[in-house]
Structure 1
Amino acid sequence: MPSPKSAIRKAQVITKGLAFGESPRWHDGRLWLCNWGTGEIVAVNEDGRSDVMLTVPAVLPYSIDWLPDGRLLVVSGREGLLLRQEADGTLVTHADLRELSKNPWNEIVVDGRGSIYVNGGGPAPAAGEHFGPDTVVLIKPDGAVLQVAENIAFANGMAVTPDNKTLIVAESHARRLTTFDIAADGGLFNRRVWADLGNDYPDGICLDAEGCVWYADVPNRHCVRVREGGIKLDRIEVDRGCFACMLGGADGRTLFIAAAEWRGFEHMVSDARTGQVLSVAVSAPGAGWPSYSSGTR
């Protein structure tokens, strides 16, 4: 739970009727997110109007980010492909991850130098388990693909600090945020715990300009702002599971939350449309990567 001094606040709903919103990104003046279960990538205005920007050949998981030149990237998780949208709207293969793992890939972040990090994959899960230990792979600007971390306890959201020197990964099943230093060639080293989160299960994350992390939590139905070391400063309560969060808006000081009712992995693809996007004003703007820029990267 948050420390006694932390605030507890509510958010307002700005759009309804999604399946599962995931991988939110503030891009070109709108919140983009993946509508899991439908193959849609949706963009939502601050007033709640939403548009389907494209449909991808994936149901779940899939996630998005942008290259420095503005081209959209899509992780097609079960297919093991990183796709790239060209200027004419077509999707082409940017990287093939199938040789690294036959298990689904999950989240993506592109840093300010164009290095791409994708997590998930990893060895096969043990009997009776949904997931085995995950990995992190790096796709370099020259196209080289290599594994740079392993034994991640259900990897979810990732963020890179503004100086491109640190990667933070949400380890949901370990209930912690884990960080790595980033080498000049994009490799990861010096793994350590950034914050133990007690009884919380971090999912999607984003960074703010004061060096804190916002994380979403499905079973505890909230988003929490935490400082390195584990001090929890702020909490936004929601009436359903929080899958991801992203800072955006005109000044970067709006926290957007992708939330939905959670019925278990076996019911993730269904006709239920309990997904919502909520928003709440916060004190510190977004920073680092994924970028909260009101324009393109």
Structure 2
Amino acid sequence: MTDKVVVSAPESVWGLSAPLLEGPVWVERDAALWFVDIKSHKIHRYDPATGDKASWDAPAQVGFALPAASGGFVAGLQTGLAKFDPADGSFTPLVDPEPDLPGNRLNDGTVDSEGRLWFGTMDDGESAATGTIYRLAADGSCVASAPKVSITNGPAVSPDGKTLYHVDTLGAVVYACDIDAEGALVNRREFVRIAEGEGFPDGPCVDSEGYVWVSLYAGSEVRRYSPAGELVETVPFPVDAITKIAFGGPDLKTVFATTANKHLSAQDKAARPTSGDLFSFRVTVAGLPGTMIRAGA
């Protein structure tokens, strides 16, 4: 395993100055990074080879947009999962996992090696313990898979597809769970706990060596942890709120990071002008190849 892998400092590549960027994902079929701005109801696409940028309006707060094998994307809206077609900008509802919790919204997601979508919900007020992790089943239903917390983040899955990591952001804990043969989460245990005053764990991401990268909100850095939960490297940022990273580019060694500025005062925004931008930096260890949703969508 490689410990020190970062070879360049994070730099802003798209000056969005957005309230809450999230959900970066490298989509190999069009060689571009896709991500969202939750509070502005936007889905963004960035092509690092050409510098081309494009944006779409979403009908509600949008926590992620992940590619589907059937074409287009599955978007996680406040109103539930929807099929998103970039060709015409349309959103077609699929399923609402929590019709009895209108104060919740979908926040983060990933696709495992089996083509299954895993995603989280959270209290939009960021206080009530009403969020959980779901799996989109083959029949299009949503299966709850973790205890309730206020703000879920992740999930992320290990290279062998056997371990799922998810985050209780306000609890400052990253959990690891085993994924059993039926797709259930078992043997949930604490993987990493962020010490008080060091920030809050946001979106996790796993590289090809099985190391877990954790973005820190109000922590000004991204951390790389070994599969045993040992901190091996930190990546300092010129902004304080990093929400998630994704590996992309032809070699999957360019890391893209989404950030936020919704918590900053006008004075703080002026002092940290790149807050809410999309960043990138280079590493020597590749990420995992992307997977498209094949179950339930």
TM-score, length-normalised on structure 2? 0.81
The answer for the alignment partner of 1:255 in structure 2 is: 255
**Structure with the larger strand share:** 1
Instruction: Determine which of 124, 135, 138 is the counterpart of 1:138.
Output: 135
The answer for the alignment partner of 1:75 in structure 2 is: 76
Q: CA deviation at 1:217?
A: 0.8
The answer for the alignment partner of 1:56 in structure 2 is: 58
In the alignment, residue 43 of structure 1 is paired with which amino acid? R
**Cα distance in 2, alignment partners of residues 50 and 38 from structure 1:** 20
User: Could you say what secondary structure the match of 1:275 adopts?
Assistant: coil
**Cα distance in 1, alignment partners of residues 150 and 289 from structure 2:** 24
In the alignment, residue 156 of structure 1 is paired with which amino acid? N
Unaligned runs of 5+ in 1: 266-271, 292-297
Alignment of 1:271-286 (within 5 A): 274-286=275-287
**Cα distance in 2, alignment partners of residues 289 and 66 from structure 1:** 9
**Cα distance in 1, alignment partners of residues 43 and 251 from structure 2:** 24
Please tell me whether the aligned partners of residues 253 and 286 of structure 1 are also in contact (alpha carbons under 8 angstroms): yes
Question: Which stretch shifts more, 141-150 or 277-286?
Answer: 141-150
**Cα distance in 1, alignment partners of residues 285 and 100 from structure 2:** 38
Please tell me whether the aligned partners of residues 207 and 289 of structure 1 are also in contact (alpha carbons under 8 angstroms): no
Q: CA deviation at 1:261?
A: 3.0
Q: CA deviation at 1:16?
A: 0.5
In the alignment, residue 259 of structure 1 is paired with which amino acid? T
The answer for the alignment partner of 1:84 in structure 2 is: 83
Please tell me whether the aligned partners of residues 9 and 235 of structure 1 are also in contact (alpha carbons under 8 angstroms): no
Q: 1:263 to 1:53 in 2, by over 3 A?
A: closer
Q: CA deviation at 1:219?
A: 0.6
**Cα distance in 2, alignment partners of residues 163 and 137 from structure 1:** 20
**Cα distance in 2, alignment partners of residues 147 and 244 from structure 1:** 23
Alignment of 1:1-297 (within 5 A): 10-19=9-18, 20-27=20-27, 28-46=30-48, 49-58=51-60, 60-77=61-78, 79=79, 81-86=80-85, 89=88, 90-99=90-99, 101-102=101-102, 103-121=104-122, 130-152=127-149, 154-198=151-195, 199-240=198-239, 241-263=241-263, 274-287=275-288
Q: CA deviation at 1:162?
A: 3.0
The answer for the alignment partner of 2:269 in structure 1 is: none
Q: CA deviation at 1:223?
A: 1.0
Q: CA deviation at 1:138?
A: 1.7
**Cα distance in 1, alignment partners of residues 72 and 113 from structure 2:** 14
Identity across matched positions, percent? 23
In the alignment, residue 146 of structure 2 is paired with which amino acid? A
Q: 1:137 to 1:264 in 2, by over 3 A?
A: farther
Q: CA deviation at 1:159?
A: 0.8
In the alignment, residue 261 of structure 2 is paired with which amino acid? E
TM-score, length-normalised on structure 1? 0.81
User: Could you say what secondary structure the match of 1:10 adopts?
Assistant: coil
Q: 1:48 to 1:130 in 2, by over 3 A?
A: farther
Please tell me whether the aligned partners of residues 248 and 287 of structure 2 are also in contact (alpha carbons under 8 angstroms): yes
**Cα distance in 2, alignment partners of residues 87 and 245 from structure 1:** 22
Q: CA deviation at 1:91?
A: 1.8
Q: 1:239 to 1:221 in 2, by over 3 A?
A: same
**Cα distance in 1, alignment partners of residues 183 and 202 from structure 2:** 24
**Cα distance in 2, alignment partners of residues 187 and 201 from structure 1:** 27
RMSD: 3.0
**Cα distance in 1, alignment partners of residues 258 and 86 from structure 2:** 28
**Cα distance in 2, alignment partners of residues 273 and 214 from structure 1:** 22
**Cα distance in 1, alignment partners of residues 140 and 6 from structure 2:** 44
Q: CA deviation at 1:117?
A: 1.6
In the alignment, residue 252 of structure 2 is paired with which amino acid? G
**Cα distance in 2, alignment partners of residues 237 and 134 from structure 1:** 29
Q: 1:281 to 1:9 in 2, by over 3 A?
A: closer
User: Could you say what secondary structure the match of 2:13 adopts?
Assistant: strand
Please tell me whether the aligned partners of residues 6 and 232 of structure 1 are also in contact (alpha carbons under 8 angstroms): no
